[in-house]
Chain A
């Protein structure tokens, strides 16, 4: 069974750094792109970016370029989303999800992690 298992909820202060994770199993992690989607509580979904773990090729949504950094370690089948200096506006649920589709970079998400809730508050 294909699964994405995310790290647990985090509570941080503004200005702190954070790295959350997403571990894939049940498939060849290195050969599938994986992405991150943000959901502010009570709001809709926003695609942030994707990474190809095989060679760490990373693409960001224009809306999120420079806001956070996506990385991956194929040796442990894990993708990461990190911030160097959190803001209150980064408070949200963050989902990792596996893109799919029949045309390069024209993808929907067919497998989702359960989400990591990030709360940034002083």
Chain B
């Protein structure tokens, strides 16, 4: 099973700042099959990014994903008030053994 480790655990930033979230895999994720989700309190996760760098439908372009192999990054170029949430990465490179990271909370500084 591929273990995903997200860092930092919590990111304290102000609106307008840039957020950089990391997701590191215990082994290479084939074909960069990595997704990112946003989850707000009391809400279901929302897909942001798939295939490491493709934005899902309706996701603003301030969200971008990059990376390959074992190291992936989600960048929020300028934080909007609605972006403060928990973010999870998920690998789906291993057939039917998909795993999620433990999450990074982006909070208001």
Contact between B96 and A109, CB atoms less than 8 A apart:
no
Query: Would you call B44 and A44 a contact (CB within 8 A)?
Result: no
> Which applies to chain B's interface (DSSP): helix, strand, loop or mixed?
loop
- The residue on A at minimum CB distance from B30 is A106
Tell yes or no: A112 within 8 A of B by CB. yes
Q: Is the CB of B97 within 8 A of A45?
A: no
Known A44-B88, A45-B88, A101-B92; judge A108-B100 contact (CB<8 A).
no
Asked whether A109 and B47 contact (CB < 8 A) given A101-B92, A103-B31, the answer is yes
**Range of interface residues on B (Cβ < 8 Å):** 20 to 34
A43, B98: Cα distance in complex, Å = 17
**Number of A interface residues, CB 8 Å?**
24
- Which residues of chain B are near A59, meaning CB under 8 Å? 96
Residues of B within 8 A of A45 (CB): 37, 45, 88, 90, 100
* Chain B residues whose C-beta falls within 8 Å of the C-beta of A107 in the assembled complex: 92, 98
Per-position binary interface string of chain A over residues 87-122, scored 1 when its CB falls under 8 Å from any chain B CB and 0 otherwise? 000000001010011011111111011110000000
Closest to A60 in B: B96
A73 an interface residue at 8 Å Cβ cutoff? no
The interface residues of chain B lying within 8 Å CB-to-CB of A103 are 31, 33
Q: Report the bound CA distance from A46 to B50 in whole Å.
A: 18
Contact A108 B44 (CB under 8 A): no
Assembly CA distance A109 to B102 (angstroms): 17
Assembly CA distance A45 to B95 (angstroms): 18
B106 at the interface (CB under 8 A from A): no
Name the A residues within 8 Å of B102 (CB-CB).
43-44
Decide yes or no whether B93 CB sits under 8 A from chain A.
yes
> CB within 8 Å of B: which residues of A?
43-47, 59, 61-62, 95, 97, 100-101, 103-110, 112-115
Question: Which 7 residue pairs are nearest across A and B when measured between Cβ atoms?
Answer: A108-B35, A112-B44, A45-B100, A105-B95, A44-B102, A108-B50, A47-B98
